[in-house]
Amino acid sequence: MTADTPAVVTFGSLHYDIIVKGPARPRKGETVTGSAWHPACGGKGGNQAVSAAKAGVRSAMIGAVADDEFGRALLENLAHGSVEHEHVRVIKGGASGMSVAIFDSEGDYGAVIVSGSNLELSADDVDQAASLFKAGNILVLQNEVPDEANVLAAAAMKKAGGKVLLNAAPARALSAELETLVDILVVNAVEAEALAGTGEVETLDQASDAAGILSARFPVAVVTAGGAGVAFAEQGGTAGAIPAIKIKLVSTHGAGDEFIGVLAAQLLQGAPIDMALGKANEAAAILVSSIR
């Protein structure tokens, strides 16, 4: 692939993850005995960039790591995943982003992230990666870096004629400036409840209702509802819902990022939103039912 090949450009987080497996996630003040642990390279941005590359498109990452052991591992992981990473800045001193994820016996998890170098993303990173902001490319954003940095990246891509996809995770208030730059919003049930101001989003019908509310603010709104499926609504246009694929759950870790990466890759290749969501749904189902 050349510099002229359309690309999924991911601007966002890189975390070195510590994965802990236990019988259950501890309650406040409780200690539980785990059965295993292992390291993994992640961060929503890094995972989504690797997922897009795996889906067969050109994938480029804009991010920041420290010059520490975690940072070196994160860069190696991007290279191994065929992700262009010359615009991942290496910061002298400080610490790379990291997280600890605790899994229970049912394959679900809770996590704590420490943002570290991800908080250093700024206008300099956008300027240095100017060649990636152009018509035909899709920018993927998440909420694991400062809103101000996301605004700068989104504005650069929109000015160049590209598209902006925001995975608004984890849940937080979005600035009005960022909202106006987003072409495709993707949220899970918890994030949909916060942004749409609805009650619980547990069923596919509830996800559809939330997508409809959010489509008044975003050209395309996508709401994932875990085991129920995924719903979407286009502003003043079509809407639809795709039931979840029945699988035997092994682990939910990374499912959302796999979904985003494949969705962005499909849209980059010109797939209509319903077809792109179907492919992303299939990819996420395969991931959560696989032993990793």
Give the model's pLDDT for residue 103.
87
A 10 A CB-CB count for 190 gives 14
Q: Which residue has the tokens 């492919």?
A: 279
Whether the upstream peptide bond of residue 170 has omega within 30° of 0, thus cis, is: yes
What tokens were used for 67? 């010059």
Q: How far is CA 140 from CA 10, 128, 262, 289, in A?
A: 5, 17, 11, 25
What tokens were used for 125? 């990173």
Domains and CATH numbers, the chain: 7-13+42-95+118-182+245-288 (3.40.1190.20)
CA distance 1 to 205: 41
CA distance 75 to 231: 34
> pTM score, two decimals?
0.92
Q: Known catalytic residues?
A: 257
Beta-bridge mates of residue 175:
none
Mean pLDDT comparison of 245-249, 255-259, 285-289, highest-scoring range? 255-259
Q: What is the mean pLDDT of residues 76-95?
A: 96
| Helix axes of 69-80 and 44-54: crossing angle, nearest 10 degrees | 20
What tokens were used for 288? 């959560």
What tokens were used for 254? 């990374």
pLDDT band at 107 (very low <50, low <70, confident <90, very high): confident
Residue 67 backbone dihedrals phi, psi, to 5 degrees: -85, 60
User: pLDDT at residue 156 above 90?
Assistant: yes
Q: What is the pLDDT of residues 109-150, one digit of tens each?
A: 788 889 999 999 999 999 999 999 999 999 999 999 999 999
Q: What is the mean pLDDT of residues 233-246?
A: 89
What tokens were used for 86? 């010359």
Helices (H), the chain: 44-54, 69-80, 123-128, 147-160, 176-179, 189-196, 204-214, 255-268, 273-288
Q: What is the pLDDT of residues 60-77, one digit of tens each?
A: 999 999 999 999 999 999
Q: Which residue has the tokens 């450009």?
A: 9
- Of all residues in the chain, the percent with pLDDT exceeding 70 is 95
Give the model's pLDDT for residue 290.
67
What tokens were used for 39? 């390291």
Q: Would you call 235 helix, strand, or coil by DSSP? A: coil
CA distance 43 to 20: 16
- In sign, the C-alpha dihedral spanning 177, 157, 270, 167 is negative
What tokens were used for 119? 């908080």
Beta-bridge mates of residue 60:
9, 84
